[in-house]
Amino acid sequence: MTVLSTAFADKNSKIVPGVNILTQSTLSILTITVLSFPAISSAQAPQGANLIHGDAWPQTAARVASGADALRQGGNRTKKASISSVVQGASFGDAISSGSWVTIFGTDLAQQTRLWRDDEIVEGQLPSALDGIRVVVNGVPASIYFISPSQINIQAPDLSALGPVTVEILQNDISQAQSTAQVAAAAPGFFMFDPEGRRYVAAVHADGTLLGPEGLFGQSLLTRPAEPGEVVLLFGTGFGPTDPSVPAGHVFSGAATLSNPVRVLIGDLVADVLFAGLTGAGLHQLNVVVPPAARSGDLSLVAETMGMSTQEGAFLTVQDGTAGLPAPAIAYFSAAPTSITAGQTTLLSWSTEHADNVQIDNGIGPVGAQGTKSVSPSATTTYNITATGPGGSKTASATIMVTQPAPTVQFSAAPNSIKSGESSTLTWSTQHADNVQIDNGIGPVNLQGTKSVSPSGTTTYNITATGPGGSKMATATVTVAPKPAPTVQFSASPSSITAGQSSTLTWSTQNVDSVQIDHGIGGVSPNGSRTVSPATSTTYQITATGPGGSKTALATVTVSPGSSGGTGQFGPCGSKTTCGEMTSCEEAKYFLNVCKVTRLDADHDGVPCESICPGG
């Protein structure tokens, strides 16, 4: 009968990979294949590893069927070899890793069926050829343990490449078959006991007894289940690099701890890993504590490391010793209400039976068998209650949905109506917000605050408050009154004069920055008067300019001509005829225009006596 598909040791305790051909005749000299590995003692193991001593392990040789001495060399090869698959030697998974045991399946792989012999292990170096059969992986020779027409077992060499690699079988250095394998940094797998379709992981108790359901091997071998809280030893291969590093292809009997952590799940519970490392060539040993809360039965066993997991369908038998004791029960565990807004509270209520310890997570801790607890989670939270008693444990959960409050915002402008150039103050306050923005170039602001603004025109400001509960917007409008237009009053008094007489221009303005009057008068004050004595009828224009624009007004002085012999304000015509007699430009204009003394305009440009009337 087949015992298991794993590794076992020869009489010199050299670590070797196993094959699926151990027979009933071997049971008398083989307690269990994995137990034939030399166990590492507490002195060899890293500190804290819970290990058994080497004298608890049988050190007996294992042989196949009628023994290696009965194997024959065989004749010349007549059929072409073919590889059907290259798999991990324990889990039969697709990936392999450096130093792990590997199984090659196919047809006509070898003409003989045998294991390596003791004399083929030289100075601790495992053989790389059996009867001329060699295997190279990505060009690197592998240690070869077992050959047969349908199966070859090797220890993968140390490989630098990850991903697809070439696996080649050679006989007498002539290639017989090629295939590919996928190399990963770790490709963990548990060795399995063969009975019941490789359902149970190869494992032992600390006293060396096989771990499994009672009667797994019939009457031949004693097995018993694990108990919660017990330390058990699990065996596998491909769990990744160790510290210190152990090269492939060499006999190894020490203890090298894995470089990366291993997480072990028994059922749905995390088990404490006391030791995980290499204890033989390609053989990894995990010493784990069965979780105290583990239930009875066949529990799934999974180990995870470096992002990879052991095979599915692997089980560990556990018997918690509580048969006949009532299991804890949770009559109810609820929250009311089940949906709240952040800052509000809800009430957890529970009732349990057959439990002597009740715990609620999320910081609550131990509670009574029945009770209530007010909670105020800041986010959606699932609370788990665990009731533990002599009959085991029971869990239940209650989820509280927490919604975040929507932001609120108050926003105003004061005053909300201004004149151009004046300012207004924006004021705001928010709640439940972690970011506040105001547009029109203001940008991020504090959650509460003020801001002075002086818009050039009517402007609506938008404030947006954003928080976990969403966004809220508000507006404030500042109305800007337009700049007042200039006003102007302009008159001439008297508006009609006789040549040589004068009139007074009078004006008043508002909302102006500058005032101009034409006909050579130029800039004047916003309010004022000016005496003029035009020789002819003249319309004067005043222009008032301010922030609100410009305004013009007109005032006309009508001039009636006097007689040539008449007497004006400068005397009778004919009394003065030369520029030298003139005392002012107005007088010169009077005698030129009214009295028609043409000699006063020698160059006929309309400007009399240019020495006293420059430019007219």
The total number of structural domains in the chain stands at 5
Q: Say yes or no: 305 and 216 in one domain.
A: yes
Within 10 angstroms of residue 112's Cβ, the number of other Cβ atoms is 15
**Where does 227-321 show beta strands of DSSP type E?**
231-237, 242-243, 256-258, 263-266, 269-280, 283-289, 297-305, 308-309, 315-318
- For residues 540 and 595, membership in a common domain is answered with no
CATH of the domain at 369: 2.60.40.10
| CATH label of the domain that carries residue 465 | 2.60.40.2470
Residue 396 backbone dihedrals phi, psi, to 5 degrees: -150, 165
In this prediction, residue 616 carries a pLDDT of 64
**Do 223 and 309 have their domain in common?**
yes
Residue 1 located in a structural domain: no
Residue range 5-39, pLDDT digits in tens? 333 333 233 333 333 222 222 222 223 343 333 33
357 shares a domain with 422:
no
Strands 346-353 and 370-375: antiparallel
Question: Where is the domain boundary, 439, 458, 479?
Answer: 479
Residues 538 and 603 grouped into a single domain: no
Q: What per-residue confidence (pLDDT) applies to 602?
A: 76
**Are residue 467 and residue 499 in the same domain, yes or no?**
no
Residue 516, Cβ neighbours under 10 Å: how many?
15
The verdict on 539 and 446 lying in the same domain is no
Peptide bond connecting 337 to the previous residue in cis, omega within 30 degrees of 0: yes
List per-block mean pLDDT (blocks of 10 residues) for the chain, which spans 616 residues. 32 31 27 35 30 28 26 50 96 96 97 95 96 97 97 97 96 96 97 93 96 92 95 98 96 94 97 97 97 94 98 94 79 96 95 95 96 96 94 93 94 94 95 96 96 95 95 96 92 90 94 94 95 92 93 94 61 81 85 80 79 77
**Residue of 102, 100, 98 lying closest to 159 (CA atoms):** 98
Question: Is residue 461 included in any domain, yes or no?
Answer: yes
- Quick check: is 70 in a domain? no
Q: Which two tokens stand for residue 138?
A: 């990505």
What domain range includes position 518? 487-560
Q: Are residues 299 and 206 in the same domain?
A: yes
pLDDT of residue 77: 54
Within a domain: 283: yes
Tell me what pLDDT residue 301 has: 98
Rounded to whole angstroms, the Cα distance separating 203 from 264 reads: 14
**What local confidence, expressed as pLDDT, does residue 574 receive?**
74
Domain end call among 357, 378, 403: 403
Long-range contacts of 481-484 (CB under 8 A, 24+ apart): 481/417, 481/418, 481/419, 481/420, 482/420, 482/548, 483/419, 483/420, 483/511, 483/546, 483/547, 483/548, 483/549, 484/510, 484/511, 484/546, 484/547, 484/548
